[in-house]
Amino acid sequence: MDGKKVEGEIALAFGDLLRKLWAPGAAPVAPRLFKSKLARFAPQFSGYNQHDSQELLAFLLDGLHEDLNRVKCKPYIEAKDEDGTNARESFGS
C-alpha cells in the first residue's frame, strides 16, 4: 500500500459499491466514489486511462486485507499432532 494509511476507507467504499450493485431493483451504478478512494491510495489508477485489471485486483485485495485484518501481533500457537497432543508431550521431553 506504499506506506499510506488506508484506515478502512477502501473497505467502506467497496462495501458501498457492492450494496448498490446488489440492491433490489438495482439501477445502473457509477463507481465514482470507489474509484476516487482507490485513486487516493494508488495514484496510478487516477484519470481515465486503461489499466491492468490484475494490478487493480491485487491492489484492491491488499487494501481490503489491510483494512479488515484486526490482528496486529499474531500469537504463537503450538500445532497439535493428529491425536491432539504436542510433540513434546508425545516424546516425554
pLDDT for the residue numbered 84: 64
Q: What is the distance between the terminal CA atoms of the chain, rounded to a whole angstrom?
A: 45
What number is the average pLDDT over the span 65-86?
76
pLDDT for the residue numbered 91: 63
Answer yes or no: is pLDDT of 18 > 90.
Answer: yes
Q: Give the domain ranges of the chain.
A: 1-93
pLDDT digits (tens, 9 = 90+) for 20-45: 999 998 789 999 999 999 999 889 98
What number is the average pLDDT over the span 15-20?
95
pLDDT for the residue numbered 30: 92
Q: Mapping DSSP to helix (H, G, I), strand (E, B) and coil, where does residue 75 land?
A: coil
